[in-house]
Amino acid sequence: MDKATKCIVIIKDDFKNVFIVQKKGKRTEPKMWQLLEVEVKGKSTEDKCIEKMIKKNISSILFNKTAIKDYVLDEETGDILRIYSGQLKERISLHKDFVKTTWIGENKLDELDFIPEHKEILKDYFKSEV
């Protein structure tokens, strides 16, 4: 399996809901919902980067982490975006860079403003979970 340059984590619960966050931004920019993501840089492994990102952003630990899909970001360089899913078993404590969190099901997907790439990833995820 090729090494990903970027990873997105879909945190799910037992009821097929997923965890999404809203980052702080400039006052003039709309606040968009998104999944948790991390860039994999240098000699770091995907696992280490994901573990650090989860710990930093929501002060929790991800369990049952599974790679579920790859997207090619750049054909020439071979850059890959790898999607993982997993579950939390601890309480969430949000980092100051985020303003809101929520759990949503597939039926709420079109009601919220998402980063377009993340919305498409969630649509794919919900299709594959049926």
Whole-number percent of the chain with pLDDT over 90: 69
Average pLDDT of the segment spanning 92-108: 91
Q: Say how many domains are in the chain.
A: 1
Cα of 126 vs its chain's centroid, Å: 14
Whole-number percent of the chain with pLDDT over 70: 98
Averaged pLDDT of the chain: 90
Tell whether 1 is covered by a domain. no
Tell whether 53 is covered by a domain. yes
| CATH code, 119 | 3.90.79.10
Tell whether 25 is covered by a domain. yes
18, β-bridge pairs:
12, 104
Task: Write down the pLDDT at residue 51.
Answer: 93
Q: 3-17 burial, b for 16+ CB within 10 Å, e for fewer?
A: ebbbbbbbbbeeeee
- Global pTM reads 0.89
Q: 């799910």: which residue's tokens?
A: 12
Q: Which two tokens stand for residue 33?
A: 């919902």
pLDDT band at 32 (very low <50, low <70, confident <90, very high): very high
Tell whether 89 is covered by a domain. yes
Tell whether 80 is covered by a domain. yes
* Total residue length of the chain: 130
Average pLDDT of the segment spanning 109-117: 93
What domain range is 16 assigned to? 6-128
